[in-house]
Chain A
Amino acid sequence: MNKFSDIKISSLPGPQDIHRKVLSNGIVILTRENFQSPSVVLSGLLGAGSLFDSKEKLGLAYFTSMALMRGTRSMDFQTLYNRLESAGASLGFAASVHNTNFGGKALSEDLPLLISTLADCLLHPVFPDVYITRLRAQIISGLTIRAQDTGEMAALTFDRILFGDHPYARPEDGFIETVQGITRDDLVGFHQSHYGPENLVIVVVGAVTPEEVFGLVEKELGGWKNPALASAPSLPQIPHLPNSVREHVEIAGKSQTNLVMGTLGPKRNAPEYLAATLGNNILGQFGMMGRIGDAVREKAGLAYYASTSLNSWIESGSWEVSAGVNPVNLEKAIQLIIQELHRFTSEPVSQNELEDGQDNFIGRLPLSLESNAGVANSILNLERFNLGLDYLQKYPERIMQITPEEILKTAQMHIDPGKLAIVSAGTESKVEDA
């Protein structure tokens, strides 16, 4: 309980060293300098996510994000990548439900190259036909591989059951049938309607001063405008499951079955979010995967991994348990997990467990923030979820205020062990063949 003495609050990223500037066209820039390594990390997002995709063209936002770097007005694909790769720099885009995210890194001497390439890809992609065809084949190949991946198929089916008609129910990269129907015109149209400066956030962390970062972004992106930018659609409500739903995805020839089960979780801005993450740590992460890891892996030896995760987004979230088990042990693992969920929702965690979790959350802060990429992601989340620049500095205090009762209340609010989505993917138990 003496964590504060070990952590210098003032050394955590905060208002004193995170510099934030809003350009006149709405672009938000955040930066923190770190001259201890001669490199820089770039991270950011804009509001062009799969929530704009129709069901028929699901995967359009993702396809568009992947196509940005296939050629611009001033550079073809090979020229663009040659400049980056020759400098040992990297840049990439990928859409999620709410956003298109981007990230990159370079030696600090090459930050101008990185920012100008970012700007060129955001503003002037030309989506050459030949590359669209090639990229489509690559995406479809990825989806074909996904269809064989027991972990991914279980997770994807879980989301479909849990999130009803909401975009969270659908994979950002789409399905083979929907990606086949996406044309170059669709990409051009998506780019015109959904890429603009108003909801663009750029974070730069590394060996560079704030003035230099602000100047570079202003120069490359300060003049960007898009009057045609579409506003986000209103999204359907997410209903709670009336009872447990069990589904199995059969994939032939697999040794291991992947299990994903759980419920809806809090959204990121929910008041109970921190209590839920701390509870989640106790349930399925702390040490070797918390209570569930202990029951399923350590005690029963049923799985190589069995753990929980809490995923919290803008509108909702999921609270899920995943495990990889031999098919003959599947039902046993499910029962053990349900038992743990019963316990978690019927009695408060012990004082010891609470303190373990609190110490872990606070103690690991320096580690999670040691690299430029770790800092950049944290800063991006502060902006994305409106947490405030002093969030990390106030975090230890907030964690210490959480009580076992609060965790129990939060668990009961979100988890009903009788109303779970339970999905397995793999080859049905070999016993049946006999």
Chain B
Amino acid sequence: MDQITEVMLENGMKVHLKEIHTAPIISHWVWYRVGSRYETPGKTGISHWVEHMQFKGTPLFPAGILDRAISRDGGVWNAFTYMDWTTFFETMPASKIDLALRLESDRMVNSRYDPEEVTSERTVVISEREGSENEPLFRLEEAVESAAFESHPYRNEVIGSLEDLHAIQRDDLYAHYRKYYNPSNAVLAIAGDFDTPTMLNRIREVYSKIPGSPVPPLAIPREAPLKAEKRIEVHGPGETTYLDVAYRAPAASDPAFFILSVLDSLLTGPSSLNMFGGGGISNKTSRLYRALVEKELAISVSGGLQATFDPYLYAISVTGRPDVDPDLVVSRIDEEIERLQNTLVPQEEIDRAVKQARALFAYGSENITNQGFWLGYTEMFDTYTWFSEYVTRLQAVTPEMVRHAAQTMLNRSARVVGIYLPEGSES
């Protein structure tokens, strides 16, 4: 089912191709190993700002031209910056995809970083941060992350701190760009309606001429485990209490990640890993929904497990009820986790999680952009087999593994409990 072609170009760029002929559409993705994980103190947010600057044009494709060309062809394009990666995609009618190859190869090396554009983009990025600050959940997450890590850059938000966004200069941005944007630090992933040999020839023509300059792998010292429960409070506007209970999670490439995925599914319901389409499945029969929402202790509950290069966090997030003490909610979460630590779950519950994952992947496969996404995304923390074998690896999880994972990974004396406390509305 999952036939893909993998090629390494001489300049070090990895290429993944997947032919899909269900619609006359092609999705073209370039992934760079750069994101907030690669940032140093004083420069937080620089990767995301660089991503913005990549839309400001090259001598060959000045800013307005690109936009116009893609939109005229009925394409969509966008970019995302995350902790471990930055990615740029174009999804176009199949006959128009050459534009994506030409523009992505061009802006891999020729972006201008005009000082005036840097100035106007500074306020745009700050405005993006201000939009996030309006959300209590962003404020809580930012505080939880910085409490959960002492030194690892995962402690910083991808958007960066306001101070750094004011301090970063044009030359900082340009140097960051030149260091990380090159073929040997990139993965090219193309999915859709094309013929592989023809596409491969064209890729060689366009991308092979760009010299690669390998970026030495960044070895970030592993953080010591949390030694105690840390409690933090964030105070802000509103009338709603939010709760984040965060545990250190394994890296995506760690086999334990799949066990935690099952555990998460049992606790808070199945999470869709598709970034583009497919939708989700409700979680009303999950253990924590039944323990918290059905018992009128919370309005909603969800789980967050993200596929990352280094160990990051698994967080249980709760929207509270005004009449319920957050500590009571935490103690009920603990009871449910203890149940998983002390009792073997029925095999049927695991089977159910597997079927849910299978359905979510089927929904996501309707969409070629989403398939292109998976083709490159998995390379940022593991390999494509992570995706193609995902369901099989969930099937291999046993009740004993789930119990062991609950005992070792969801340890109440090694976590961050973050509470957003509303100051009440002042109008």
Q: Do A and B bind each other?
A: yes
Residues on A facing B (Cβ under 8 Å): 6-8, 11, 36-39, 77-78, 81-82, 84-90, 92, 105-107, 134, 137-138, 141-142, 144-145, 147-150, 250-256, 286-288, 294, 297-304, 324-326, 329, 355-356, 359-367, 369-373, 426
- Tell me whether B124 and A88 are in contact (CB under 8 A): no
Per-position 1/0 for B119-134, Cβ under 8 A of A: 1111111111111011
What are 26 A-B pairs at a CB distance below 8 A? A6-B93, A8-B24, A39-B363, A39-B366, A81-B284, A85-B356, A134-B296, A148-B136, A148-B238, A254-B134, A254-B237, A255-B134, A256-B130, A256-B134, A287-B64, A287-B70, A288-B67, A298-B63, A301-B121, A301-B124, A303-B127, A326-B126, A326-B130, A356-B72, A359-B74, A373-B279
**Segment at the interface with A among B30-38, B140-148, B168-176, B419-427:** B419-427
Contact A367 B281, CB 8 Å, known A288-B55, A326-B130: no
Other A-B pairs beyond A299-B120, A324-B130, 15, CB < 8 Å: A36-B366, A38-B362, A81-B284, A84-B282, A89-B359, A90-B281, A138-B293, A141-B240, A251-B427, A252-B425, A288-B67, A303-B124, A304-B125, A364-B74, A366-B23
Contact A363 B352, CB 8 Å, known A37-B365, A85-B269, A105-B279: no
Chain A CB count within 10 A is highest, among B126, B131, B426, for: B131
Contact of B71 among A141, A324, A356, A370 (CB under 8 A): A356
- Tell me whether A253 and B240 are in contact (CB under 8 A): no
B128 nearest CB across to chain A (Å): 4
Interfacial chain A residues near B359, Cβ < 8 Å: 39, 87-89, 106-107
Q: How many residues of B contact A (CB 8 A)?
A: 77
Residue of B nearest to A324 (CB): B131
CA distance A359 to B70 in the complex (A): 10
Residue of A nearest to B52 (CB): A304
B212 in contact (CB, < 8 A): no
- Tell me whether A359 and B73 are in contact (CB under 8 A): yes
Contact A6 B240, CB 8 Å, known A253-B423, A360-B72: no
- Tell me whether A148 and B64 are in contact (CB under 8 A): no
- Tell me whether B72 and A89 are in contact (CB under 8 A): no
- Tell me whether B120 and A362 are in contact (CB under 8 A): no
- Tell me whether B352 and A86 are in contact (CB under 8 A): yes
Contact of A304 among B24, B25, B96, B131 (CB under 8 A): B131
Interfacial chain B residues near A39, Cβ < 8 Å: 359, 362-363, 366
Interfacial chain B residues near A324, Cβ < 8 Å: 127, 130-131
B101 nearest CB across to chain A (Å): 18
- Tell me whether A371 and B366 are in contact (CB under 8 A): yes
B75 in contact (CB, < 8 A): yes
CA distance A254 to B63 in the complex (A): 32
B214 in contact (CB, < 8 A): no
CA distance A303 to B130 in the complex (A): 10
Residues on B facing A (Cβ under 8 Å): 22-25, 55, 63-64, 67-68, 70-76, 91, 93, 95-96, 119-131, 133-134, 136, 236-240, 269-270, 277, 279-285, 290, 293-294, 296, 299-300, 319, 321-322, 352, 355-360, 362-363, 365-368, 423, 425-427
- Tell me whether B67 and A287 are in contact (CB under 8 A): yes
CA distance A251 to B355 in the complex (A): 44
B312 nearest CB across to chain A (Å): 26
- Tell me whether B127 and A325 are in contact (CB under 8 A): yes
CA distance A148 to B365 in the complex (A): 37
Interfacial chain B residues near A287, Cβ < 8 Å: 64, 67-68, 70-71
Interfacial chain B residues near A137, Cβ < 8 Å: 296, 299, 321
Contact of B425 among A148, A255, A301 (CB under 8 A): A148
CA distance A104 to B207 in the complex (A): 43
Interfacial chain A residues near B283, Cβ < 8 Å: 85
Contact of A90 among B55, B120, B126, B282 (CB under 8 A): B282
Interfacial chain A residues near B126, Cβ < 8 Å: 326
Residue of A nearest to B73 (CB): A363
Residue of A nearest to B238 (CB): A148
Interfacial chain B residues near A299, Cβ < 8 Å: 120
CA distance A280 to B98 in the complex (A): 29
Contact A367 B74, CB 8 Å, known A81-B285, A145-B240: yes
CA distance A41 to B75 in the complex (A): 24
- Tell me whether B240 and A144 are in contact (CB under 8 A): yes
CA distance A132 to B22 in the complex (A): 45
The 3 closest A-B pairs by CB, nearest first: A363-B74, A88-B359, A301-B120
Interfacial chain B residues near A356, Cβ < 8 Å: 68, 71-72
Interfacial chain B residues near A149, Cβ < 8 Å: 134
A71 nearest CB across to chain B (Å): 12
Interfacial chain A residues near B72, Cβ < 8 Å: 355-356, 359-360, 363
CA distance A294 to B68 in the complex (A): 12
Interfacial chain B residues near A81, Cβ < 8 Å: 282, 284-285
B22 nearest CB across to chain A (Å): 4
Interfacial chain B residues near A298, Cβ < 8 Å: 63, 120
Chain A CB count within 10 A is highest, among B63, B134, B239, B319, for: B134
Interfacial chain B residues near A256, Cβ < 8 Å: 127, 130-131, 133-134
- Tell me whether A362 and B63 are in contact (CB under 8 A): no
CA distance A418 to B64 in the complex (A): 30
- Tell me whether B239 and A144 are in contact (CB under 8 A): yes
CA distance A324 to B123 in the complex (A): 12
B271 nearest CB across to chain A (Å): 12
B89 nearest CB across to chain A (Å): 12
Contact of A37 among B55, B71, B366 (CB under 8 A): B366
Contact of A364 among B76, B300, B423 (CB under 8 A): B76
Residue of B nearest to A110 (CB): B359
- Tell me whether B362 and A107 are in contact (CB under 8 A): yes
CA distance A8 to B269 in the complex (A): 42
Residue of A nearest to B67 (CB): A287
Contact A252 B368, CB 8 Å, known A88-B270, A366-B93: no
- Tell me whether B127 and A253 are in contact (CB under 8 A): no
CA distance A288 to B367 in the complex (A): 23
Residue of B nearest to A299 (CB): B120
A383 nearest CB across to chain B (Å): 22
Interfacial chain A residues near B73, Cβ < 8 Å: 359, 363
- Tell me whether A88 and B281 are in contact (CB under 8 A): yes
Interfacial chain B residues near A38, Cβ < 8 Å: 362
CA distance A107 to B357 in the complex (A): 11
Contact of B93 among A105, A142, A288, A363 (CB under 8 A): A363
Chain A CB count within 10 A is highest, among B23, B126, B359, for: B359
CA distance A286 to B75 in the complex (A): 11
B366 nearest CB across to chain A (Å): 4
- Tell me whether B279 and A370 are in contact (CB under 8 A): no
